Amino acid sequence: MIKSSAMDGPQVARRHFLLSGVAPPAGGIVIASGALKAADVIERIKHNVGIPWRAETVDNIVAGSADTPVRGLAVTMMATLDVIRRAAAAGRNMVITHEPTFYSHQDNTEGLVHDAVYQRNADFIRRHNMVVFHFHDHWHRRRPDGIAVGMARELGWEKNADPADPRLFTFPVTPLARFARGIQSRLAIRTMRVVGDPRLPVKRVLASWGYVSQMPGISLLARPDVDVLIAGETREWELVEYVQDAIAAGAAKGLILLGHVVSEEAGMKYCAEWLRSFIPEVPIEFMPAAEPFWSPDRPVA
């Protein structure tokens, strides 16, 4: 794995302020024009995210060096090779990704050392002097959750959200089929799957953006105040099977699976806006990751 944990840039900036007798601004450490490094970007994220930085986290540089001068930031849901190529072409040599780059949550590459796909990706990043930063745990743990804020905004659901829980929404009663079509249209989803009676009256909806496991998936759907659970993906022999059995037993429940990428992507679109509020020196661009799936009745051109 190509990794670096050096964080010299922010320390230099702090020493500069201490020696000058001027306190660093509340918005974060200021770096001289043209001297912004990947380490400085990460330090500002830590300063502004609003929660203590965890010692054990996947939020680390997974490719490239912390000392790399940053010319521009590309913010994405998943740093696929396609996204990395587009970022390089646009002059955005630091990629901030919500999901892994190298095919596992921990970005563990021990088993990929001789894999041609991994080698090609790693070589491209190296040749173009790029940095990839995995930003997952703290964006979710931020209050409110950055992914939840972005998804609610993209769907136009801010006014429907429960003030105490940004993942819980209340709507005028709508049949499940129509409700699901509205989501599909708003997010431009090619492949979305729904479990439940298309005529099911939907009023209270709970969202678990991204992957939801058996637990808490079952307990979330079993809540008496929830008609439908929305998620990106889940194991079909666990939560999907549970939903089918609940419906067969007479429960009025539904499950909507959007696909992992589209179920969180707007949260990273919002992340790009958030980053612009305290990193003014370089351009920051949101780069969508392509939905990987397509349906045979609507093939991709």
The answer to whether residues 13 and 136 belong to one domain is yes
Residue 294 inside a domain? The answer is no
The answer to whether residues 156 and 275 belong to one domain is no
CATH code of residue 205 = 3.40.1390.30
The answer to whether residues 135 and 270 belong to one domain is yes
The answer to whether residues 134 and 151 belong to one domain is no
The answer to whether residues 26 and 116 belong to one domain is yes
The answer to whether residues 84 and 117 belong to one domain is yes
pLDDT value of residue 23: 39
Residue 212 inside a domain? The answer is yes
Give residue 115's region: left, alpha or beta (phi > 0; psi -120 to 50).
beta
The answer to whether residues 282 and 190 belong to one domain is no
The answer to whether residues 199 and 135 belong to one domain is no
**Residue 295 CB: number of other CB atoms within 10 A?**
10
Residue 220: which domain range?
146-258
pLDDT value of residue 34: 55
Number of structural domains found in the chain: 2
Contact (Cβ atoms closer than 8 angstroms) between residue 40 and residue 13: yes
pLDDT value of residue 24: 44
Going by the DSSP 8-state scheme, the letter that residue 37 receives in this structure is B
Residue 157 inside a domain? The answer is yes
Residue 293 inside a domain? The answer is no
pLDDT value of residue 78: 98
Residue 1 inside a domain? The answer is no
Q: Which residues of the chain have pLDDT under 70?
A: 1-34
pLDDT value of residue 2: 40
Mean pLDDT computed over every residue of the chain: 90
The answer to whether residues 138 and 150 belong to one domain is no
Give residue 28's region: left, alpha or beta (phi > 0; psi -120 to 50).
left
pLDDT tens for 251-278 read 999 999 999 999 999 999 999 999 999 9
pLDDT tens for 15-35 read 333 333 333 444 444 444 458
The answer to whether residues 94 and 163 belong to one domain is no
Residue 298 inside a domain? The answer is no
